[in-house]
Structure 1
Amino acid sequence: MGPRQEAQPALFCEFSLEDHVPPDYLLRSIDRFVDLSGIRAYLADFYSHAGRPSVDPELLIRMLLVGYCFGIRSERRLCEKVHLNLAYRWFCRLDLSDRVPDHSTFSKNRHGRFRDSELLRHPFETTLARCIDEGLVSGQRMAVDASLIEADANKQNSSPKEDWDARQINPADAPRAVREYPDVLDQAAFGAASEVQPKFTSHSDPASLCTAARKGPAFFGYSDNYLIDTDHGVIVDVEGEAEQKTIRGIVFPPNGSIRQAEAGSTKTMLRRVKARFDRHPERLIADTAYGTGPMRGWLVDRKIAPHIPVIDKSGRNDGTWTRADFEWDAENDQYICPEGHELKQVRRNYSDPTRGPTGKGTARYRALKEVCQACPSKAMCCPNADARKITREEHEDARQVARQIARTDQYVISMKPRKKVERLFAHLKRILGLNRLRLRGPCGANDEFLLAATVQNLRKLAKILPAPQQLGKA
Structure 2
Amino acid sequence: MMGPRQEAQGALFYDFSLEDPVPRDHLLRSIDRFVDLSSMRSHIAAFYSHTGRPSIDPELLIRMLIVGYCFGIRSERRLCEEVHLNLAYKWFCRLDLTDPVPDHSSFSKNRHGRFRESELLRHLFETVVARCIEEGLVSGQRLAVDASLIEADANKQNSTPKEEWDVRSIDPADAPRAVREYLEVLDHEAFGAASEVDPKFTSHSDPASQWTAARKGPAFFSYSDNHLIDTDFGVIVDVEGTRSIRQAEVGSTRTMIDRVEDKFGIVPEWLIADTAYGSGPMLGWLVDRQIDPYIPVIDKAGRPDGTWTRTDFEWDAENDQYVCPEGHALKQLRRNYCDPNRGPTGKGVAKYRALKLTCQSCPSKARCCPNADFRSITREEHEDARQTARDLAKTDQYEIAMKLRKKVEMLFAHLKRILGLNRLRLRGPNGANDEFLLAATAQNLRKLAKLLPAPAALPKAP
Q: TM-score range by the shorter chain?
A: over 0.9
Residue 189 of structure 1 and its aligned partner are, at CA, apart by: 2.9
Residue 382 of structure 1 and its aligned partner are, at CA, apart by: 2.9
Counterpart in 2 of 1:451?
Answer: 438
Whole-Å Cα distance in 1 between the matches of residues 450 and 252 of structure 2?
Answer: 29
Change (3 A) 1:445 1:468: same
**1:460 and 2:447 aligned:** yes
Whole-Å Cα distance in 1 between the matches of residues 155 and 309 of structure 2?
Answer: 50
Counterpart in 1 of 2:351?
Answer: 364
Whole-Å Cα distance in 2 between the matches of residues 370 and 428 of structure 1?
Answer: 62
**1:12 and 2:13 aligned:** yes
Whole-Å Cα distance in 1 between the matches of residues 225 and 306 of structure 2?
Answer: 44
Change (3 A) 1:318 1:202: closer
Counterpart in 2 of 1:30?
Answer: 31
Counterpart in 2 of 1:211?
Answer: 212
8 A Cα contact 1:361 1:393, kept in partner: yes
Counterpart in 2 of 1:45?
Answer: 46
Residue 173 of structure 1 and its aligned partner are, at CA, apart by: 1.8
2:418 pairs with one of 431, 447, 450: 431
8 A Cα contact 1:149 1:434, kept in partner: yes
2:369 pairs with one of 365, 382, 400: 382
**1:296-445 → structure 2 map (5 Å cutoff):** 296-315=283-302, 320-347=307-334, 349=337, 353=341, 357-445=344-432
8 A Cα contact 1:24 1:470, kept in partner: no
Change (3 A) 1:320 1:184: closer
Counterpart in 2 of 1:253?
Answer: none
Whole-Å Cα distance in 2 between the matches of residues 336 and 199 of structure 1?
Answer: 45
Deviations 1:3-62 (A, max 9, x none): 222211101111111101111111112111111111111111111100010111100000
Residue 346 of structure 1 and its aligned partner are, at CA, apart by: 4.1
Deviations 1:258-297 (A, max 9, x none): 2221111000000000000001110100000111110000
Give the aligned CA root-mean-square deviation in angstroms: 2.0
Whole-Å Cα distance in 2 between the matches of residues 419 and 304 of structure 1?
Answer: 20
Whole-Å Cα distance in 1 between the matches of residues 405 and 82 of structure 2?
Answer: 37
Whole-Å Cα distance in 2 between the matches of residues 303 and 17 of structure 1?
Answer: 53
Change (3 A) 1:290 1:8: same
The alignment partner of 2:432 has SS state of: helix
Counterpart in 2 of 1:268?
Answer: 255
Provide TM-score, normalisation by structure 2.
Answer: 0.94
8 A Cα contact 2:188 2:194, kept in partner: no
Moved more, 424-433 or 357-366: 357-366
Residue 93 of structure 1 and its aligned partner are, at CA, apart by: 0.2
The alignment partner of 1:238 has SS state of: strand
Counterpart in 2 of 1:107?
Answer: 108
Change (3 A) 1:321 1:169: closer
Deviations 1:232-272 (A, max 9, x none): 00000000002xxxxxxxxxxxxxx4222111100000000
Counterpart in 2 of 1:240?
Answer: 241
Counterpart in 1 of 2:138?
Answer: 137
Whole-Å Cα distance in 1 between the matches of residues 168 and 386 of structure 2?
Answer: 44
Q: For residue 396 of structure 2, what is the amino acid of its counterpart?
A: D
Whole-Å Cα distance in 1 between the matches of residues 298 and 189 of structure 2?
Answer: 26
Moved more, 197-206 or 334-343: 334-343
8 A Cα contact 2:324 2:330, kept in partner: yes
Deviations 1:166-197 (A, max 9, x none): 76222222111011122234444336232222
Whole-Å Cα distance in 1 between the matches of residues 302 and 458 of structure 2?
Answer: 57
Residue 351 of structure 1 and its aligned partner are, at CA, apart by: 5.7
**1:259 and 2:246 aligned:** yes
8 A Cα contact 1:188 1:268, kept in partner: no
Q: For residue 97 of structure 1, what is the amino acid of its counterpart?
A: T
Residue 363 of structure 1 and its aligned partner are, at CA, apart by: 2.2
8 A Cα contact 1:191 1:261, kept in partner: no
Whole-Å Cα distance in 1 between the matches of residues 90 and 180 of structure 2?
Answer: 36
Q: For residue 456 of structure 2, what is the amino acid of its counterpart?
A: Q
- For structure 2, the 5+ residue unaligned runs are none
The alignment partner of 2:456 has SS state of: helix
Whole-Å Cα distance in 2 between the matches of residues 371 and 223 of structure 1?
Answer: 51
Whole-Å Cα distance in 2 between the matches of residues 164 and 383 of structure 1?
Answer: 48
Counterpart in 2 of 1:200?
Answer: 201
Whole-Å Cα distance in 1 between the matches of residues 33 and 340 of structure 2?
Answer: 71
Moved more, 378-387 or 228-237: 378-387
Residue 140 of structure 1 and its aligned partner are, at CA, apart by: 0.2
Counterpart in 1 of 2:177?
Answer: 176
Whole-Å Cα distance in 2 between the matches of residues 69 and 233 of structure 1?
Answer: 17
Counterpart in 2 of 1:3?
Answer: 4
Whole-Å Cα distance in 2 between the matches of residues 136 and 284 of structure 1?
Answer: 18
Whole-Å Cα distance in 2 between the matches of residues 89 and 12 of structure 1?
Answer: 20
8 A Cα contact 1:83 1:89, kept in partner: yes
Whole-Å Cα distance in 2 between the matches of residues 405 and 143 of structure 1?
Answer: 16
- For structure 1, the 5+ residue unaligned runs are 243-256
Residue 470 of structure 1 and its aligned partner are, at CA, apart by: 7.5
8 A Cα contact 2:276 2:298, kept in partner: no
Moved more, 307-316 or 319-328: 319-328
8 A Cα contact 2:297 2:386, kept in partner: yes
Question: Number of matched residues?
Answer: 457
Moved more, 281-290 or 337-346: 337-346
Counterpart in 2 of 1:245?
Answer: none
The alignment partner of 1:43 has SS state of: helix
Whole-Å Cα distance in 1 between the matches of residues 88 and 454 of structure 2?
Answer: 17
**1:281 and 2:268 aligned:** yes
Q: For residue 324 of structure 2, what is the amino acid of its counterpart?
A: C
